[in-house]
Structure 1
Amino acid sequence: MAAAATPLGFIGLGMMGLPMARSLLRHGRALVACDPSEAARDALSEGAGAGAVRFAATPAGVAETAETVVLVLPDSKAVAQVVEGPGGLLAALRPGHLVVDMGSSLPAETRRLAAAAAERGAAFLDAPVSGGVAKARDGTLAIMLGGDDEPCARAEPVLREMGAPPIRTGPVGSAHAMKALNNYVYAAGLLAAAEAVRMAEALGLDLHVFTDVLNASSGRNVATETKLKSDVLTGRYAAGFQLGLMRKDLETAGSIAAETGLDAPGLSLCRALWAEAVEKLGPRVDNLEIHRFLGQRETAPR
């Protein structure tokens, strides 16, 4: 296929990155990838067509072959290491290069790295996603996209192979800001739903009927619609998004509150509760285990 003629760089084959890379392969892309995990590299190679995947030892090695490089990394610290660390992308960037950060990064850091890339004639965009592992597997992610018009237009065909047409959010850094604020709103809705379920349970109410009432009424949100019956009431807790990553996104939202000088007490409450939950349950459990955490907390003194 024509798309396979020019390889696409892909760095980060974790829980989200691996299915996103596989989605690109299904669309006929050839990938030059980089990830320290041998298991992740083997998983990407498995089932791929002949010559569809090859690996570079360093991020710089990816940029030496691919003009467009997608990053799917856990946080800004990891992005900075990949871009600026030993063997990093920055030293290999040249005019015409396009770097697309599809993780959830700090907006201020994204703007800083974009400026560093621009000094070398390259473009750096932010394109975080929403939808979790299931939509990453299906190639149906919601994607936000921040940056100038010309590089965004170049990135869109690639992004459409991993999800819906991207929503343009404005200048570079705006997409990461909107993603963090979106996840705060989700976390607040999930917290309210989990607390309400715990109270309904204590009253002896039918929790399935209560969920139906929420979803037919003004309390409806994405957590009540897609998570309560399948994952919370069953104790399955398998939404595919880690508790620690939710805490990280809430901290990013907190950095935005600090940057803007806005007092956000609801956000402060969510940050405190998620920090406590991560301390008690660990960062790798599913974010829906906030419901289990609430059940384990000591009852507040009356």
Structure 2
Amino acid sequence: MQVGYIGLGNMGGALAERLQLSTPLHVHDRSQAAMDRLAAAGATPCATAREVAERCDLVLTCLQTSAQVREVVFGAGGLAEGLKPGTIVVDQTTGDPFETRKLQAEVDALGAHFMDAPVSGGPPGAAAGTIAIMAGAPADLYARVEPVLRAISCNVYHTGDVGSGHVMKLANNLLSAAQRLLSHEIMCLAVGNGVAPATAVEVMRKGSGRNYTLDNTYPRHILTGELFQGFTLALMHKDVSLATEMARQSGVPLFFGAQVREHYQAAINQLGAEADVNEAVRLFERAAQVMLRPQENG
């Protein structure tokens, strides 16, 4: 089976590099530097998405939005121009499950297959082979793709039919986004009442308030003052907005989720859409008049 990968950014590049360790890839990205990086690891660069489709039996994509996935599939020089009957397209974008199901119907009409397999765990999880992969596909299609996904990570989950992977990813990201903001607020509460930031994190990591933000974001980024993570406020707001729109369309009330979306919009208004997601901690510090980061980092 010939395998391709399209979208070699911060997340897609890490996933492709992990897969390239065991599976020779044909790759495409708008960035020549990104393709060169994979080529140095043994991958074959392709000038267009169409060329990837012509060479491969299975193509994975990892882009920023479902609109970009649609463009890669059906735009000029896109996958649809080169798809062979039976080719499988696996979308690892954090996407819109409703759009994913539309894409499935349109790709299926071409005689190929489309499924979703988004991930959670960031580039470090991809590099370590531990990232969570949520695959939405019919059982027979999943069985064909599973060995390739397990070449990326040992943590692969079949979540149901097409679109269910993106449903699970949006639910996960909304929970993560909410925990991130609440952790900043609670840390300000503890620090504002005399507990050192590192002590507060250490204690809560051993208690019932433990979460991913305390386990990873604080030790790596907040307590060190090295805020850059490579994930923007705009992308976080996009994920949260997709989750709240999914709730609206399915009739599920999101009392807290809607507030989370508005908090990220407020952060964008004050810090800019391209600010790193960790920059939002500054807003909580200002509101509480405390510092969670080292003073010398501003």
Please give the TM-score of this superposition, normalised by the length of structure 2. 0.91
1:1-302 residue pairs with structure 2 within 5 A?
6-27=1-22, 29-46=23-40, 48=41, 52-297=42-287
**Would you say how many aligned residue pairs link Structure 1 and Structure 2?**
289
- Displacement after TM superposition at 1:283 (Å): 3.4
Residues 222-276 of structure 1: per-residue CA shift (max 9 Å, x gap): 2122222332222222444333221111011011111112221211110011112
The separation in 1 between residues aligned to 2:86 and 2:119, in whole angstroms, is: 24
Distance 1:69 1:77, change over 3 A: same
Residues 177-221 of structure 1: per-residue CA shift (max 9 Å, x gap): 110011111111111110011222222322222223322322121
Name the structure 1 match of 2:296. Answer: none
Code of the aligned partner of 1:10: Y
Distance 1:89 1:252, change over 3 A: same
Corresponding residue SS for 2:273? coil
The separation in 1 between residues aligned to 2:214 and 2:19, in whole angstroms, is: 32
- Displacement after TM superposition at 1:59 (Å): 1.1
The separation in 1 between residues aligned to 2:4 and 2:175, in whole angstroms, is: 32
Code of the aligned partner of 1:25: Q
Corresponding residue SS for 2:4? strand
Residues 65-90 of structure 1: per-residue CA shift (max 9 Å, x gap): 10100001111111011011111112
Distance 1:151 1:250, change over 3 A: same
Alignment identity in percent?
Answer: 38
Please give the TM-score of this superposition, normalised by the length of structure 1. 0.90
The separation in 1 between residues aligned to 2:256 and 2:157, in whole angstroms, is: 27
- Displacement after TM superposition at 1:99 (Å): 0.3
- Given that 1:93 and 1:117 are in contact with CA atoms closer than 8 Å, whether structure 2 keeps it comes out as no
Corresponding residue SS for 1:161? helix
Residues 68-122 of structure 1: per-residue CA shift (max 9 Å, x gap): 0000111111101101111111232232110000110000000000011111121
Q: Which runs of 5+ in 2 are unaligned?
A: 290-298
Greater Cα offset, 140-149 or 237-246: 237-246
The separation in 1 between residues aligned to 2:201 and 2:258, in whole angstroms, is: 27
- Given that 2:170 and 2:242 are in contact with CA atoms closer than 8 Å, whether structure 1 keeps it comes out as yes
Residues 162-190 of structure 1: per-residue CA shift (max 9 Å, x gap): 11241110110011011001111111111
The separation in 2 between residues aligned to 1:296 and 1:90, in whole angstroms, is: 50
- Given that 1:110 and 1:126 are in contact with CA atoms closer than 8 Å, whether structure 2 keeps it comes out as yes
